[in-house]
Amino acid sequence: MSHKDIEYTTVTEVAGPLIIVDGVKDVAYNEVVKIKTSTGEERTGQVLEAFTDKAIIQVFEGTKGLDTDKTSVRFIGETMKLGVSKDILGRVFDGTGNPIDNAPPIIPEERREINGNPINPYAREYPSEFIQTGISTIDGLNTLVRGQKLPIFSGAGLPHNEMAAQIARQAKVLGKEEKFAVVFCAMGITSEEANLFIRDFENTGALERTVMFLNLADDPTIERIILPRMALTCAEYLAFDLNMHVLVILTDLTNYAEALREIAAAREEVPGRRGYPGYMYTDLAMLYERAGRIKGKKGSITQIPMLTMPDDDITHPIPDLTGYITEGQIVLDRGLHKKDIYPPVAVLPCLSRLMDRGIGEDRTREDHADVSNQLYAAYAEGCDLRDLVAIVGEDALSERDRKFLKFADEFEQKFVKQESHENRSIVQTLTIGWELLSDLPTAELKKIDEKYIKKYLPKTKEEKE
């Protein structure tokens, strides 16, 4: 009798999201488990620790209703897999990979291990193709490139979902017509939030290029551990087998991390910082590092993970570990949101590490890097002066300083702020930048090469002088 046909009814312990089964044989690490409750309901689990005669299992749909009496357990002989095929586009799946769009299940061409294998760094192609999102704070100051992982660090109640939807709507590579395929992975967000995306995909006709993996707020939490893995397996298939450019939106990683913590607590592991498991860095890296490009392959995976910083605290382990793995971050700010600035991007702590290679003469425009550096420096100085003015008053400032103070305000109103349907070209973004900079004394524009000042500084300004 094969191992797959045995039904064990030897559950000895149910604890949190875990069960322990005794007397088992030949159970593989990470093997998938089918669990039947006493009422006949079926659930899915996965082996977390395997012994010669015992297995610790995490149950994705939760352990409510499981018992140590009638509950039966069957090991299916393989680790978690996702069936993929060309027909996967346009489909919607639940947290364990079953379709929930009332269409028949897809007939898989292949079933892939959802944990994936690491991309060989030697096989990677360095991402460098500029993606225009139409959002100035991203395009101008924190440029996104194809194959990058660039998260949005948000706070509860901030419009990160609007922003992600705007990116998905507007993202394009200049001079190329092909549209992004979208893999949308919702972990524990409300149905209202999910609908915002779905409506948007519908309105723009993106739905047929989209694959959705949904685990909503009232769905079982432990499913959130496998959901992004399925989504990324799907993305890898689309990108590296079907040669598509894929945009993966993962939201909300905070809910994912909570699920990790729940399991760690149930296993009574020694907790790392603030109760999150010590291996959370590696665990998150296994997701984020699945973005990228591969030499000789046409497709790419660009990731926009979103997370809400608990208590708006950027040093919290979830944003902190994420920032250590991703290639930059877009940080949203409650203060700006209250000032009615959309998108409320707190420019200073934002970063795109792949920007330097994605911009410049052949990619965006020759002056891009200099303008960006200058805007940063001037805005930082303006913000410092705001703090100073709060104490000494504006009168104590020199003429020069007052200009920087004013610059900071104008920058937020004209450069940062834009409409949620406003799709600015990179040239428009740079033009706004130059206009703002032209209100500063030209001698202060030290970060910009003189030849660009000559070429791009608005003429009216030079005439003024």
Partner 1 sequence: MSNKQQEGKIIRISGPVIEADGMRGAKMYDVVRVGGENLIGEIIRLNEDNAIIQVYEDTNGLRPGEMVISTGMPLSVELGPGLLANIYDGIQRPLPAIQEKTGEFIARGVEAPAIDRKKKWYFKPTVKAGEKVNGCDVIGEVQETSIITHRIIVPPELSGKILTIEKEGDYTVEEDIAVVSNGGGDVKLQMMQRWPVRKPRPVAKKYDPTLPLITGQRIIDTFFPVAKGGTAAIPGGFGTGKTVMLHQLAKWSDAQVVIYVGCGERGNEMTDVLREFPKLEDPKSGEPLMNRTVLIANTSNMPVAARDASVYTGITIAEYYRDMGYDVALMADSTSRLAEAMREISGRLEEMPGEEGYPAYLASRLAEFYERAGRVKLICSKDKEGSISVIGAVSPPGGDFSEPVAQNTLRIVKVFWALDADLADRRHFPSINWLKSYSLYLNEIQSWWKKEIGEGWLKLRNKAMALLQKESELQEIVKLVGPDALPPKERGLLEGARMIREDFLQQSAFHEVDTFCPGKKQYEMLRLILKYFDKTQEAANKNIHIDDVINMNSRENLARMKNVSNKLFDKKFQETEKDLDKEFSLLEKGGS
Judged by CB under 6 A, the chain residues 305 through 324 that form the site for ligand ATP are: 323-324
Q: Which one of ligand ATP, partner 1, none is in contact with 217 (Cβ closer than 5 to 8 A by kind)?
A: none
Q: Give the C-alpha separation, 252 to 255, whole Å.
A: 6
CA–CA distances in Å: residue 181 to residues 155, 169, 207: 27, 11, 9
- Residue count, binding to ligand ATP (CB under 6 A): 4
- Nearer to ligand ATP (CB atom), residue 6 or residue 285: 285
Among residues 150, 112, 125, the alpha carbon closest in space to that of 247 is found at 150
The SS3 call for residue 247 is: strand
Q: Which one of partner 1, ligand ATP, none is in contact with 294 (Cβ closer than 5 to 8 A by kind)?
A: partner 1
**Integer-rounded Cα radius of gyration of the chain:** 25
Q: Residues 107, 225, 287, CA angle at the centre, nearest 5°?
A: 85
Strands 300-308 and 152-154: parallel
Which residues, 6 or more positions from 387, have their beta carbon under 8 angstroms from its beta carbon? Answer: none
- Nearer to partner 1 (CB atom), residue 12 or residue 282: 282
Query: Residues 234, 240, 241, 243: is their CA dihedral positive or negative?
Result: positive
- Nearer to partner 1 (CB atom), residue 26 or residue 67: 26
Contact between 353 and ligand ATP (CB under 6 A)? yes
Selected from 273, 386, 451, 455, the binder of partner 1 by CB under 8 A is 273
Q: Which one of partner 1, ligand ATP, none is in contact with 195 (Cβ closer than 5 to 8 A by kind)?
A: none
- Nearer to partner 1 (CB atom), residue 134 or residue 323: 323
Q: Give the C-alpha separation, 301 to 325, whole Å.
A: 16
Interface region with partner 1, contact rule CB under 8 A, candidates 8-16, 189-197, 208-216, 348-356 = 348-356
Q: Give the C-alpha separation, 114 to 247, whole Å.
A: 18
Q: Which one of partner 1, ligand ATP, none is in contact with 396 (Cβ closer than 5 to 8 A by kind)?
A: partner 1
How far apart are CB 112 and partner 1 at their closest, in Å?
11
Amino acid at 36: K
Amino acid at 241: D
Q: Give the C-alpha separation, 122 to 29, whole Å.
A: 29
* 353-412 binders of partner 1 (CB under 8 A): 353-354, 356, 369, 373, 376-377, 380-381, 388, 391-393, 396-398, 401
* 230-259 binders of partner 1 (CB under 8 A): 240
Contact between 285 and partner 1 (CB under 8 A)? yes
- Nearer to ligand ATP (CB atom), residue 45 or residue 319: 319
How far apart are CB 64 and partner 1 at their closest, in Å?
26
Among residues 201, 191, 223, the alpha carbon closest in space to that of 89 is found at 201
Positions in the binding site for ligand ATP (CB under 6 A): 323-324, 351, 353
